[in-house]
Structure formats: C-alpha cells, structure tokens
Structure 1
Amino acid sequence: MLKRLHIILFSLIGIAICQDPPDPPDAVTKVATSAANWLKIESGVRGIGMGGSQAASGRGLSGAYFNPASIAFIDGSEAYFSKSAYLAGITHNTLGYGTRLTPTDYFGLHLFYLDSGEMEVTTVPSPNGTGEYFKVLDLSLRLIYGKQLTDRLRIGGSIKYIREQIYTTYMQSFVFDLGSNFNTGINGIILGMSVSNFGPDVQFQGEGLHVEVDPAEDISGFQSKITKKFSVPLIFRLGIQKDLFGGGDEENASHLTVSVDAINPIDYTVYGGVGFEYSWRDMAF
C-alpha cells in the first residue's frame, strides 16, 4: 500500500513539473470556450503560495475554494478576508465565515467579489465617450457544508450563486462544488479530491442586448439579441500531501510538507501544481 501511494505521489509530481506545453499545431484545447472564467481566480495566501496544490492540504475557509471538505478542519469558528489590487484599478475581494455546528458538522459562508473599476461608455456616435461610466462586476456567494465522517475522512459540498454584470448585460446561475479529504494514516500521506463549478450552461441577457426595431414589427419597439450558451469552467482536482519530516512528532519543532495536485479544467489541458510548506512550532510558516 505504501509503495502504491509513493508511486501516486511521484506520478503527480511528474505531471506538475515535467509536463511540456503542447506544440500549437498539435494542441487541441477548449480555451476561451467557457464563461465566468473569473471563477478560476485563486484566493488565499497559503493556497497561492503553494502553487494552488490544495486539494489535499487545504484547511479551513481559505482552502474551501480548492476543496469544500477543507471547512471540516475548522476548530470552533473562523473568519476570513482577503483583498488584492491588480493593474488598471481591478480589485479582488473575498470574505468568509465558518463555524463548527456539532462535533462532526460544519457550515460556512463565502463571498467572492471582483470589481473592474470604472470605465467610460463609448458608442459608435461617441467614440471618445458619452460621459457615462460602467463597471464589470463578478460575484460569487457560496454556502458550504462539511462533515467529518471518521477521524480520517472528511467530505464537503457547496452551492454557489454566480453573477457577472457588464454594464446593462448580465449572466447568473447556480453551480455546485464537491470534495473529500482522506488521511491514510501512513507516513503522513493525505489524499484529496474535488469537483468545482458543476452546473448548467449560462447565457447573457439584459438591456444591453436590446436592438431598436420598427414598432410595427414589435409592440415594445425593440428586440433582444439571443446570445449563445456557454459552459462554466468545470475543474477536477486530485491531490496528495505528504509529511517529509516532523509530521505527527510533537517533539520536533520543525515540520516540512509537500503537496501535489493534478488539475483538469474543462477548457484547458491537464496541468499540475506543487507546493512546500515549512512550519516552526505551528507559529511561523
């Protein structure tokens, strides 16, 4: 069993660090075929710092983006907030709260908010601007539930309301996440799996798609363009975490962990992430 787990670990590391990008003439991907790609923006200092390899090593609310089962590691209650400022006035904010309802049940709320900053409205008659301004706003509000089935196995799921608004045009839907975390009890090896953004195809609508027509043809004097439906960015993650030294040894102040994820998004090729975490007495990381 231990030999097989080591084979899995080294295979995932090979995927993550030895994968060469496919040659453009031979590559067949589905890049730019899904909507709401902002759902793939990672959050959390720990997760980003470890290369997004959080399917097995995610803990608490900050790990719920990668695997909702991470919420089942909360001890008591936990609040989480992060804010990132990008170029061109774009800001990315997350806010969350989670609590332990019973010895085995956990519940959390998680808000994701992406703001493009103000941009001036331009039209064909007014290419230099109309004097009006608009924003691109992306929102995800998530309810998370986690359960500790045994001392080694945790599962979790979440339902997300997502909305993207561009001026007077918008898209909205509900999507789901599922995940699990299993501690093998063998040499500090932990396995994790998650499926993110499972839901129906989405379609844009709103006043921005209205086209003026002859009132004789339509009572309201306009018709609405029908846009194509697109899938949301479904992502499958399979991860493994292993203690390199110090795991489970309370007398050892130092602790080094490696985590590896294989990530398979619906609109890209399979890729991987590798992360290392060193901690000293659980105070400095």
Structure 2
Amino acid sequence: MKKIYQLSVLSVVLIGMLHAQYRDIPDVVTKVATSAANWLKLGTSTRAAGMGGTFVAAGQGVSAIPYNPAAIAYLEGSEVYVSRTNYVAGITYNVISYGTRLSASDFFGINIFYLDSGPIGVTTEKFSNGTNEDYHVTSMSFKLAYARRMTDRLKVGVTLNYIRDEIYTTNMQSVAFDMGSNFDTGIFGIVLGMSVSNFGPEVQYGGEGLQVPVADSLDVDGRLNKVTESFPLPLMFRLGIQKDIIGPSENATLKSSTHRLSFAMDGTNPTDYTVHGNAGIEYAFRELAFLRAGTNIGHDTAGFAAGGGLFFKMGSMSAKVDYAFINYNILKLMHQVSIGLEF
C-alpha cells in the first residue's frame, strides 16, 4: 500500500508540473512553425499510440527506435515490425523496422519511415481553380540504430538518421542524430528513460521549383535559383518513467503470474512547442492479450487514446498484432495497426 501511495504521489506531481506549464497563458509564445520536418515528431509505435504516446521508458524492441534507440537492447533475438497509420486529412504513413542482437551486449536496428499526403491539386496564379494536375508531399527517414547493455540496469543507444522531404518540385535532405538511455533505478521498480531526438544542422529547401528562368543570365542554363531561408529540425528532449503496478516481476508492487498492469508517463520539451506530456497504462493477460489506454497532456489537438493487441506463438517464432486510435478532436480519429515478428 505504501508503494502504491508513493507512485500515486509521483504521478500526480508530474501531471501537475505538465499542466502548470505556461502554454495556456494567452500571450505566451508557443514557438509553433519555427522548425522544418515536423513529421519527425509523429508517433510510429502502435503500442505507444494506445498508451497516449508514452514510450521513452516503456518501449522495448524495434518499434521504439524513434522514441529511444536504447530500447533495442531489450531484444533477445531478432525482430521485424511493420505498421500503417491513417493520419488526419487523408495523410498516411508506414514504418518498417528490423533489429537483432549482435552479441550479449550489442544490438543493431533499422527503422524506415515513409509519409504520403495523398493527392493535392495544383493551382497557379492563372489557374486558381486547379490545373487538373495533382502532386504529393512525401517524407521519409532512414535510421541506423546501435544500442549497448552497459550493465544489467543501464542501456544506451544512438541513431544516425537520413531524412528527405519532397513538396511538388522542391526538396530537402539532411542527416540527424538521436540518443537515449534506459535505466532501472531500483527504486520502487521504476524504469527511467531519456532521449534526445533530431539533433542536426538547419535544413534548406531547393529544387526545380525554386529556379527562375531569366533572359539575361550568366548561368549556362539561363536560370537563377531562389535562396530559401533555413530552419532547424524539431529537436526534442524526452524524459519518462515506467512502473509495473501488478505483474510477475520482482519489481511489481502487487505480484501476479496471470495479470500485468503497467503505468508509464513521458514529458517532452521540444524546441518548436511548449512542454507537454503523455500518460498511459497497459493491461496484459498472461502476456497474450493486451488492453491499453492513455492521454496526451498539454497537446493542442490530441487527447484520449486506446488500443489493444494479441500475441501468438508459432513454433520458434512469435507474432504480435496491435491496433490503436487517438482522438484528435476537431481533426477526428487517427487509426494505427501493426504486426511484429520475433525470431
């Protein structure tokens, strides 16, 4: 009972700190629209989505690479993860991840992300109602992750990330780095997760769409290039905790070999928004069936989230199927589904 009380107090304090942030003050500067490639902040794990986006400490395996690269240090063998998300306004994005254990303490992972806006009608100054031509906004990232078990309680990881954005006839490409850690504190069974994402140089758009033909030019092809302003990537610092309230582990507050109930909470401090957070729970029955729920704290549109999943054993392999949704209020629901294979 004492442990439950202490965990409850800690949760209330963290939630209170997030709600106390100044983003609700009318005159505050929220830093919105001050960075490029905001799609780098999209949630890619279905399990995380069902828990309200909490994953920096709770994530284990390749689906957590974008949240915290140290999460692949939980792998016992190899894992493949595939997900599809029907986002808002007809936008969809897909993820493919792979990870494997190289040695007793070394781990390697790959994460590929691809976003498609769907068809958008082309309009010009002369044809404001459209030219009967469509274009797509596409964004992709390719991550190479490495993680290491430093001790039985500490895991660290880093990611090298190639990113590319295409908007009609303009494009941008760059590289960025992520780093993170997971630490079993040994205090009431709390796991602490930390990560820094999208650390890299400022980016600038270029391409054919920014070329202007001129009659008199020193350029061989008779074109001049417009110089666009450069913008930083959306650098994010995440801090999270995870705790088994009920479960078979020795760190669980209440012991049970059949049921597990985990609580997780994240706080995020981005360079292009105010501090916000996520809180969620996951219930597991014999680690075969899962129910999840969570909420976004301090987010301008995202709110309640929920989901579930099933685990199947198939000989030497196992499979996981997960589904989640997030309520974006006026933007309606986001749906995400994923399949994972462990071998």
Query: TM-score, normalised on structure 1?
Result: 0.92
Q: Which runs of 5+ in 1 are unaligned?
A: none
Aligned residue number for residue 273 of structure 2: 268
Q: Tell me if structure 1 keeps the 8 A contact 2:248–2:256.
A: no
Alignment of 1:93 with 2:94, yes or no, is: yes
Change (3 A) 1:148 1:127: same
Measured after TM superposition, the shift of residue 20 of structure 1 is 7.0
CA distance in 2, matches of 1:117, 1:274: 31
Q: Tell me if structure 1 keeps the 8 A contact 2:23–2:274.
A: no
Measured after TM superposition, the shift of residue 217 of structure 1 is 5.3
Partner amino acid, structure 1, of 2:139: D
Q: Secondary structure at the match of 2:289?
A: coil
Alignment of 1:84 with 2:89, yes or no, is: no
Aligned residue number for residue 62 of structure 1: 63
Change (3 A) 1:10 1:247: farther
CA distance in 2, matches of 1:95, 1:248: 31
Q: Which runs of 5+ in 2 are unaligned?
A: 291-343
Structural RMSD (CA): 2.1
Q: Secondary structure at the match of 2:266?
A: strand
CA distance in 2, matches of 1:256, 1:236: 27
Aligned residue number for residue 171 of structure 1: 172
CA distance in 2, matches of 1:128, 1:222: 28
Aligned residue number for residue 183 of structure 1: 184
Aligned residue number for residue 244 of structure 1: 245
CA distance in 1, matches of 2:245, 2:136: 47
Q: Secondary structure at the match of 2:83?
A: strand
Measured after TM superposition, the shift of residue 48 of structure 1 is 0.9
Aligned residue number for residue 225 of structure 1: 226
Change (3 A) 1:53 1:251: closer
Please identify, of 15-24 and 145-154, the stretch whose mean Cα deviation from structure 2 is larger.
Answer: 15-24
Aligned residue number for residue 14 of structure 2: 12
Measured after TM superposition, the shift of residue 8 of structure 1 is 5.4
Q: Tell me if structure 2 keeps the 8 A contact 1:177–1:195.
A: yes
Q: Secondary structure at the match of 1:81?
A: strand
Change (3 A) 1:73 1:221: same
Aligned residue number for residue 138 of structure 1: 139
Q: Tell me if structure 2 keeps the 8 A contact 1:15–1:272.
A: no
Q: Tell me if structure 2 keeps the 8 A contact 1:12–1:261.
A: no
Change (3 A) 1:4 1:203: farther
Q: Secondary structure at the match of 2:39?
A: helix
CA distance in 1, matches of 2:46, 2:154: 25
Aligned residue number for residue 289 of structure 2: 284
Q: Secondary structure at the match of 1:205?
A: coil
Q: Deviations over 1:2-60 (max 9, x none)?
A: x99887554323234565742222x1221100000000110111101111121111110
Measured after TM superposition, the shift of residue 213 of structure 1 is 1.6
CA distance in 1, matches of 2:118, 2:111: 22
Partner amino acid, structure 2, of 1:98: G
Matches within 5 A, 1:18-29: 21-25=23-27, 27-29=28-30
Aligned residue number for residue 320 of structure 2: none
Q: Tell me if structure 1 keeps the 8 A contact 2:18–2:275.
A: no
Q: Tell me if structure 1 keeps the 8 A contact 2:217–2:223.
A: no
Matches within 5 A, 1:96-111: 96-111=97-112
Measured after TM superposition, the shift of residue 275 of structure 1 is 0.8
CA distance in 2, matches of 1:4, 1:231: 40
CA distance in 2, matches of 1:16, 1:63: 23
Q: Tell me if structure 1 keeps the 8 A contact 2:99–2:109.
A: yes
Change (3 A) 1:216 1:91: closer
Aligned residue number for residue 257 of structure 1: 262
CA distance in 2, matches of 1:134, 1:269: 33
From the two aligned structures, give the one with the greater strand fraction: 2
CA distance in 2, matches of 1:275, 1:162: 30
Query: TM-score, normalised on structure 2?
Result: 0.77
CA distance in 1, matches of 2:25, 2:19: 17
CA distance in 2, matches of 1:99, 1:234: 27
CA distance in 2, matches of 1:108, 1:86: 25
Q: Deviations over 1:66-125 (max 9, x none)?
A: 111111111201000001123544211001111111111111111000001222322222
CA distance in 2, matches of 1:252, 1:4: 23
